[in-house]
Amino acid sequence: MNRRLQIRLSTLQFLQYFVWGSWFVTAGSYLLHTLDFSGRQVGFVYSTAALSATVSPLILGIVADRYFNIEKILFMLHLIGGCLLFFLSTQTEFIWFYITLMVYMLCYLPSFSLTNSLCFHHIDNPNTDFPKVRVWGTIAWIVAGGLVSYTSLELTKYPFLISSACSIVLAMYSLSLPKTPPSQDRSATFLEVFKQEEVRLLFKDKSLMILVVSVAFICIPSSYYYSFTNAYLNEIGVPYPAAKMSIGQMTEIFAMLLLPYVFSNWKMKTIIWIGLFTWGIRYGFFIMGEEWGMYELIYLALGFHGIAYIFSMLSAQIYLDSRVPTNLRATMQGFFSFLTLGLFALIGALIAGETVSFYSLGDGSHDWQSIWMIPFAVGMVVTLFFLIFFNPRKDKHFIR
């Protein structure tokens, strides 16, 4: 991959995650403590991402594979998204906040899989080149979290306004991206796409399906982290919580840059097992840290985020890209987003919201130790399932 292309794709990743990171982490605190939404309502708000991801990434992935250049789709999605974020910043009632955010998520969520598909289309070696590009998304998340936290904007509407402005910038930048045209024959119908022999072989790959199912179920504990960790840190008195959460992004940078070495020297099963295990065990450290009054354990749990995300989610995306034909990249990345950002993230967000509501205390605080036991248990069960059943050597069905 030449230097110029790396800079262009890295800038895309930076802007993509800056838009997301500016508001997503701190929204739970803003909704709970400023707008006085209940835990159940916050769970519903965060479920908009999952609901949207059950529909739009898969559909737009197929559209990108068959009809329109990816960069043009990204332009329209981010332009509309920027306008919606501005309107969202003016909403204080739950119903209108929820509806507006739902429409925004329908536009924004597909951009994750489309951005990855665009990158995979233009880089030569995903195992070594993609981490170098994707790391700038993590850097953007750190910058966004630090900006919002150290300017004391966490409990205000301004993170939405920052994201709105950056979304417009990202829309304009999308028009300068390398042209990424459709790669499929558009004469085939949507249903015919999924009847192709290549797709049938893909679903016969048992280990690949076990991987997808495991990563999908690990989205339940990850939903607890994204929805309520910031509120948890605020409630127990951790200073600058959004900035503290960037510890996870710092370890994410390290894990991402380490990934090419890891792919070359470790088995895929080991890599993903570590990622899945870390998603669950972090909540055990949350519990112990609060019980023993040791913030160091809580900070360690925050640091686990980088290993958890990179070794499970990102590794799974790279592995999936290596197993599907090039003309189905956007479609299958959309399918992966449907499961991980969509269906199971929806289940996780709703379960997390109900858990927080159930363990709400009379003074407005929460029994966080009981709350964290749920994602801890789910994470351990998923890890054990993957460890027992994932064995790619026994599969006879390979796409490429």
pLDDT digits (tens, 9 = 90+) for 6-36: 999 999 999 999 998 888 877 878 888 888 8
Give the 3-state secondary structure of residue 175: coil
Burial class (CB in 10 A: 0-12, 13-18, 19+), 361: exposed
Q: What percent of the chain has pLDDT over 70?
A: 86
Give the Cα separation of 202 and 325 in Å (integer).
Answer: 10
123, part of any domain = yes
155-166 residue pLDDT tens: 889 999 999 999
Phi then psi for 366, rounded to 5 degrees? -140, 155
CA distance 37 to 30: 9
270 torsion bin: left (phi>0), alpha (psi -120 to 50), beta (else):
alpha
pLDDT at 217 over 90: yes
Q: What is the pLDDT of residues 266-295, one digit of tens each?
A: 988 899 999 999 999 999 999 999 888 888
- Domain assignment present for residue 244? The answer is yes
How many C-beta atoms surround the C-beta of residue 381 within 10 A?
11
Calpha distance 359→356 (Å, rounded): 5
Question: Does 141 fall in a domain?
Answer: yes
Query: Across the chain, what does the average pLDDT equal?
Result: 83
> The CATH number of the domain where 309 resides is what?
1.20.1250.20
Position 391, amino acid: N
pLDDT, one tens digit per residue, over 35-94 is: 888 878 887 887 787 777 776 656 666 666 667 788 888 999 999 999 999 999 999 999
What local confidence, expressed as pLDDT, does residue 400 receive? 39
pLDDT digits (tens, 9 = 90+) for 299-339: 999 999 889 988 998 888 878 777 776 666 666 766 777 77
pTM of the model: 0.70
Contact (Cβ atoms closer than 8 angstroms) between residue 81 and residue 22: no
Q: Is 2 part of a structural domain of the chain?
A: no
Asked if the structure places residue 382 within a domain, the reply is yes
**pLDDT exceeds 80 at position 215:** yes
For 213-271, give the DSSP string.
HHHHHTHHHHHHHHHHHHHHHHHTT-SSHHHHHHHHHHHHHHHHHHHHHHHHHS-HHHH
**Considering the domain boundaries, does residue 112 fall inside one?**
yes
Domains identified in the chain, total number: 1
Q: Are 352 and 314 within 8 A, CB to CB?
A: no
Please give the biggest Cα pair distance in the chain: 63
pLDDT at 97 over 80: yes
Q: Which residue has the higher pLDDT, 252 or 78?
A: 78
Domain residues for the domain of 42 are: 7-179+186-394
Tell me whether residue 1 is in a domain: no
Residue 400 lies in a domain: no
